[in-house]
Amino acid sequence: MFFYNDPFQILQLGMRNAEESFNLYNNPLRFFRPFFIFIIWVNFLWLLLLPVKPVLCEEQWDGVVVTQSNFLALQAFKEELIDPKGFLRTWNDSGFGACSGGWVGIKCAQGKVIIIQLPWKGLKGRITERIGQLEGLRKLSLHNNQIGGSIPSSLGLLNNLRGVQLFNNRLTGSIPASLGFCPMLQSLDFSNNLLIGTIPESLGNATKLYWLNLSFNSLSGSVPTSLTSLNSLTFISLQHNNLSGSIPNSWGGSLKIGFFRLQNLILDHNFFTGSIPESVGNLRELREISLSHNQFSGHIPQSIGNLSMLRQLDLSLNNLSGGIPVSFDNLPSLNFFNVSHNNLSGPVPTLLAKKFNSSSFVGNIQLCGYSPSTPCSSPAPSEGPGAPSEALKHRHHKKLGTKDIILIVAGVLLVVLLIVCCILLLCLIRKRKTSEAEGGQATGRSAAAAAREGKGVPPIAGDVEAGGEAGGKLVHFDGPLAFTADDLLCATAEIMGKSTYGTVYKATLEDGSQAAVKRLREKITKSQRDFESEVSVLGRIRHPNLLALRAYYLGPKGEKLLVFDYMPKGSLASFLHGMTNVKASGFFFFFLRIATFVCLFIN
């Protein structure tokens, strides 16, 4: 079936058919030709007045059976994996259903496998090197499993590879340098694994790479210089590794100002030394800079004050010296700022001191002006030409008394005690977050694996890939809904209600399934990192009396959507306020029972 996007194509087709059917010289009904042309024009105008409804955005199976080479590669892929939950039992020996939707997690085009998507399945084992025989593979998504072994170097042979999501596994070894030679590579996420070695310099050859997340591993070495000139990058996260050395001072390279697209530069919790590169100021699209828990020294670059779109700046727990640049007062979008526990000195810029509390500046003994207890001393006015010299003489000859020495020693001990308490508190918080993250990851993995048993092919877009043609990011949790970002954005919507936090819509997807979509207001939502952290926890919560969160979507302009199951019988409020048949005598006991059940549900 074909769809005409332009209404004038329909008009031209109708006119051509009219000319063929009612030829003036050959057709006996030629006298009715003006009447039929009038009918065509009326139908055309009627089509223009109809509301436009989105058509199915995802192509169906093209009817081509999987090729023999791809079938053998999939069999080898299955043999290397351990499937305790039995999700791969649909991968039978015939191979006929591999491309028709019968094999879980597989999608094909023209008989070639283009997607392998098996997240949250509890898979173990390793990834076979024969995956390089799937020459049409575009996306490999195996995140949130227990897969070990090394990353296959044969992935570098896949010229159509666009996204690789292997985060939250137990992968070991190093990152293959061959991945840098995938010309279409856009997204690479190996976070939360056991990888070692260095970051390949060849990744700078992936000129379409926009998402690079290698955080929470044991990588060593320095940041490749090639990454600093990769103008396609919008997100780079290398936090919680063993990286060292200095950061290259070549960000932006010879590119025009504003052309470099990097928005998030996250390098905290490493062992970087040297000074913060001045060239960071060339990254005019930066929203977040996180360099805390390193060993940076020197002054804070003045050029950072030119990043008008900067929202988060964390330089805490380093060895930075000098003053805070006055140009930081000119950052209108800055909502998080932390330079605590450095060796900074001098006054804090006025607007920064008013906007952020003292926790953003503590641990800098010579820093002043950020709280009433740390005022900046001003020079006393002179009374005459000889007054300054006399005062200097008296100050020079004055000796410190016993009381002054006691106060100084007590102040030093108090500062040392405060620093020790802060360090212990930070270690305790970090240990607690690590234990909670490990426990939540194991619980979420088992719950999601059980909920998705028997499910068909998941949607194409999701995880950390670009959300279809509109961009953005769609992340799925377990549940019966299967859709892509394009499906969600193309769905018809009906407003169900509004609140302080946003608007709830009833969304009908193209396949007829329904979902409740809540669009959050931009002014009340948190930063992207905090939002993703909290919504990931909410997505793993499952309770028979709570509505389950099935997915969330982050748009390219900051829009945030939450997808829930649609409840056709309405809300509790509409049920209570719509009751008209409750007798007056039983009113109190009726609502007392409802309150009791609500308390039980909350419990």
Pairing relationship of beta strands 242-245 and 220-221 according to DSSP bridges: parallel
pLDDT at res. 574: 66
Give the closest residue to 70 by CA, choosing from 45, 95, 48, 87.
Answer: 95
pLDDT at res. 588: 62
Statement: residue 60 has pLDDT above 70:
no
Statement: residue 525 has pLDDT above 80:
no
Higher pLDDT, residue 351 or 404: 351
pLDDT at res. 35: 56
CB atoms within 10 A of CB 32: 12
Query: What is the rounded average pLDDT for all residues in the chain?
Result: 79
pLDDT at res. 445: 44
C-beta of residue 147 within 8 angstroms of C-beta of residue 166 = yes
C-beta of residue 216 within 8 angstroms of C-beta of residue 240 = yes
pLDDT at res. 550: 82
Query: pLDDT > 90: what percent of the chain?
Result: 46
> Mind listing the pLDDT tens digit for each residue in 135-158?
999 999 999 999 999 999 999 999
pLDDT at res. 564: 84
pLDDT at res. 168: 96
Higher pLDDT, residue 464 or 593: 593
pLDDT at res. 52: 38
Element (H, E) at 211: strand 211-213
Section 557-578 average pLDDT: 75
Of 53-57, 64-68, 265-269, 317-321, minimum mean pLDDT range: 53-57
* Residue 313 confidence class, pLDDT cut points 50, 70, 90: very high
C-beta of residue 489 within 8 angstroms of C-beta of residue 517 = no
Give the closest residue to 180 by CA, choosing from 207, 160, 198.
Answer: 207
State the Cα–Cα distance between residues 169 and 189, nearest whole angstrom.
11
* Residue 92 confidence class, pLDDT cut points 50, 70, 90: confident
State the Cα–Cα distance between residues 477 and 466, nearest whole angstrom.
17
Section 97-121 average pLDDT: 91
DSSP H helix total and E strand total for the chain: 10, 26
Statement: residue 449 has pLDDT above 70:
no
Q: Encoding tokens for residue 410?
A: 């007590």
| Region for 482 from its dihedrals, namely left if φ exceeds 0, alpha if ψ lies in -120 to 50, beta otherwise | beta
State the Cα–Cα distance between residues 265 and 450, nearest whole angstrom.
36
Give the pTM.
0.56
**What is the residue whose two structure tokens read 């985060």?**
167
SS3 124: strand
- To 10 degrees, what angle do helices 7-21 and 33-49 make? 160
User: Which residues are CB-contacts of 591 (< 8 A; sequence separation ≥ 6)?
Assistant: 576
> What domains does the chain contain, in order, with CATH numbers?
7-49 (no CATH), 227-249+256-368 (3.80.10.10), 468-568 (3.30.200.20), 569-603 (no CATH)
